[in-house]
Structure 1
């Protein structure tokens, strides 16, 4: 889906500084290859999930400097007239290759490769990184939660715990990783993510009694609605709920206390009252560890907010955007690499493959040999997203969601352990 506004100023000042100097110095038109990769996974995590690629393509398509953007750059003296002239007609004309959304990644994986002139590619660093870092962090956390939940669905409900625009992206990323729905209506409208919502304690407190509150909700939404039962006394609320709705009551939600113990007690009450098909949904500061701890409890679904939109303690995927090759004096692409202490990079345009044995991933194979054939038993990970400036890699969110299921299914079992550990498979550079 196209962005409604220009994304050109979703960038850092220093990118315009480099462009200005490169135009003046003559290096702007040199061919260059930039690469997005993560030097490491969040501490103890065993895999990451690529998310945000579709949003990167939307942002790239909207990366245009109109009159308002150019006037701002002129008035703030960020750009001189030569740079403004270049920006006025800017259209990314290069190529982008990348891991498809939903794919798992590991330290050093060349998640996205941007090829073009230096001027073309350098401007995209911040908008690419801000999108991939946020969305991949959310998707990686969401994936762990989905595996902890097993077959039980999870509702994403973290909009009130993050920036309003980030909330929409987070809902998309969580759904990509297997969440069943979101409370965020913009995510439903923009990306087709299924939406769901119950009621807050405020609705119960609005009424003179819990009885009146439940009756009003049932009258409006029908028996399949979900009633919040922990505003006052849980046992009394459950009895009232079944009295009003009958055994066809859709679900009850518990939002506080010892959720495992409360779910057990509520299940017993519901069954005793004949509401054996009424579901129990639990919410309240859940993360993957809390969800795993509730595996034996009679819970039918979860609602997760703060933890998923903040990456469950890892709010960024720590991805970087580095120049790995540039045109030399002979016109050939020459590898370049940083030697900074603690922040090295590997030079050269790369290809990447997932090595499999009997359907199970055993290694991430990364090669700088441009014409090398794909290793036997491995599948390619880099796919064309943009060719000569034309977007070719858009896909429905449903495809990314399906890809994530297949990508995680081929990982070794230990990948899904919540205890701290090393990356599930090694990244091997050849």
Structure 2
């Protein structure tokens, strides 16, 4: 098994500079004040879901584990920090030996979450934990937004497969991460070869309008494609006249033609006409793939259309209007002193303006109703009630600095399917609404 099978990056560059400068200046000041070694607990959560969304989807956990593992201040990075005079020599010396040796717990990838859910909990010294804020948030905020959009689209698509094809609509590296997150959220394939190479996601792709325009006639283009790729290929039929193209496609490939793709026009109307024409020509098994700026609403509107698969690009890789999950990384508990045995004290931001947080090291569990359907997200800082002990959501991801929760990407994909199925039916409604589960807090003093 190679690294792509486990979702590991092919290369392992340092991730240490995926960091905001204030993390290093806080470290410098904490080292000087003697507080850097205080045991600390940080939590990642969001105060609210994007407007109108019913649930969130955890995406990017596997990438976070890679990033933490590769968070190293090598010679080139240290030289950059020294030349810019970002930190002093004492701090540089400390960074040279940096390795995260703490613990990380979190919702497993593919799980759903709600406002306040402690999606990830990072524990260790203040110094080693604070440096990870930006890289963790940048991954989780992006990937969770894409996974949530993908989940809504896959719910709207039902049993019809979805193709991720947004690489040309975003940053080249973001495209790879987006493809991975979309796969977790329910997409079946990707057009992005880098995503296929790095994460083992199935890849697909045939031709664009340029290929048709290259040839002297549409028929010549179809003949070239069928000769090269076989009768099971997908022919793009909306470069000129759709009806003429469908007729030519079947004449060239025969009734064994794999599929036709429609990329423009009134997709509902055109799909019905194309299906009728294909059936009349005897190509009853030829599938119809539609593309063209689809989102979950457009996909839902095509539920009654004779469509077999959807290709989605722009709306997916931009989170279908919500490109971030608004997650934050907050200190919720810290030790009274640098003594490793010092008890933890809950801490929380209390400022006005809606940016408050709840202190204390939290557990999370999902309570079910008498039918086995989720009815509440329950968070607490004390003992876990007996009825929720076997419903806890956080799992150990890193122990003593060592990753302990590697898993194939398919495991996260399957987990999401189960998690979404366990929510109330209204979770997959596309109409705007409140989170499908309320978040309940059981306030008790934090343990050490």
1:162 is aligned to 2:170: yes
1:192 is aligned to 2:205: no
Q: 2:392 aligns with which of 364, 376, 380?
A: 380
Distance 1:297 1:377 in 2: 46
Report the CA distance between 1:359 and its aligned residue. 1.8
1:360 is aligned to 2:368: no
Match of 1:142 in 2: 150
Q: Aligned runs of 1:88-127 on 2, under 5 Å?
A: 88-127=96-135
Q: 2:310 aligns with which of 276, 291, 302?
A: 302
Distance 1:194 1:347 in 2: 43
Distance 2:390 2:115 in 1: 18
Q: 1:25 aligns with which of 20, 33, 54?
A: 33
Report the CA distance between 1:375 and its aligned residue. 2.9
Q: 2:359 aligns with which of 322, 337, 347?
A: 347
Q: 1:130 aligns with which of 107, 127, 138?
A: 138
Distance 2:389 2:47 in 1: 26
8 Å contact kept, 1:356–1:378? no
Q: Where do 5+ consecutive residues of structure 2 fail to align?
A: 1-7, 443-448
Report the CA distance between 1:410 and its aligned residue. 0.4
Distance 2:266 2:206 in 1: 21
Match of 1:402 in 2: 414
1:335 is aligned to 2:346: yes
8 Å contact kept, 2:149–2:320? yes
User: How many residues end up aligned between the 2 structures?
Assistant: 429
Report the CA distance between 1:382 and its aligned residue. 0.4
Match of 1:64 in 2: 72
Q: Secondary structure at the match of 2:391?
A: strand
Residue deviations 1:232-277 (CA, integer Å, cap 9, x gap): 0000000000001000000000000000100000001000000000
Report the CA distance between 1:356 and its aligned residue. 1.1
Query: What is the TM-score when the length of structure 1 is the normalising length?
Result: 0.99
8 Å contact kept, 2:365–2:388? no
Distance 1:356 1:398 in 2: 26
Report the CA distance between 1:394 and its aligned residue. 1.2
Q: Where do 5+ consecutive residues of structure 1 fail to align?
A: none
Residue deviations 1:64-87 (CA, integer Å, cap 9, x gap): 000000000000011110110000
Match of 1:10 in 2: 18
Q: Secondary structure at the match of 1:247?
A: coil
Distance 1:109 1:372 in 2: 15
Distance 1:88 1:122 in 2: 16
8 Å contact kept, 2:107–2:393? yes
Q: 2:434 aligns with which of 418, 422, 425?
A: 422
Q: Secondary structure at the match of 2:255?
A: helix
Query: What is the TM-score when the length of structure 2 is the normalising length?
Result: 0.95
Alignment root-mean-square deviation, CA = 1.0
1:269 is aligned to 2:280: no
Report the CA distance between 1:376 and its aligned residue. 4.1
Q: Secondary structure at the match of 2:293?
A: coil
